[in-house]
């Protein structure tokens, strides 16, 4: 990754609750797939989060982010071993469920 940009927006809703959204993008030369056929962008991440204060010494926080870049898709089932796009669903089942196959 040559360069990256990051921006975060935060909003306090009440004294004990806050939310945030953030975006991270990479620029410049990315990474090559295993066969050197495709140049992949490393990061295109969108995230959201919240934080809730439960008392003087405790809080509950939650963050969720998704890397929508070529590399994120490659590592999470969006590309096959040759670098070609697939359905975008990982081949392993989610929480032990069987994988779904698309019929052509």
**What would the mean pLDDT of 46-64 be, rounded to a whole number?**
94
Map the chain to HEC letters. CCEEEEEEEEEECCCCEEEEEEEEEEECCCEECCCCCCEECCCEEEEEEEEEECCCCCEEEEEEEEECCHHHHHHCCCECCCCCECCCCCCCCHHHCCCCCCCC
Question: Where does the pLDDT of residue 85 fall: very low under 50, low under 70, confident under 90, or very high at 90 and above?
Answer: low
Q: For the chain, give every domain's residue range.
A: 3-88
Write out pLDDT tens, residues 35-44. Answer: 666 677 788 8
């Amino acid at each position: 990754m040559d360069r990256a940009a990051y921006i975060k927006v935060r909003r306090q809703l009440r004294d004990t609750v806050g939310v945030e959204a953030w975006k991270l993008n990479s620029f410049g030369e990315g990474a090559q797939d295993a066969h050197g056929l495709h140049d992949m962008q490393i990061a295109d991440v969108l995230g959201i989060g919240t934080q809730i204060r439960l008392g003087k010494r405790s809080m509950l926080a939650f963050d969720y982010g998704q890397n929508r870049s070529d590399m994120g898709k490659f590592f999470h089932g969006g590309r096959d071993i040759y670098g070609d796009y697939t359905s975008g669903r990982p081949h392993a089942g989610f929480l032990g469920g069987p994988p779904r196959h698309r019929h052509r």
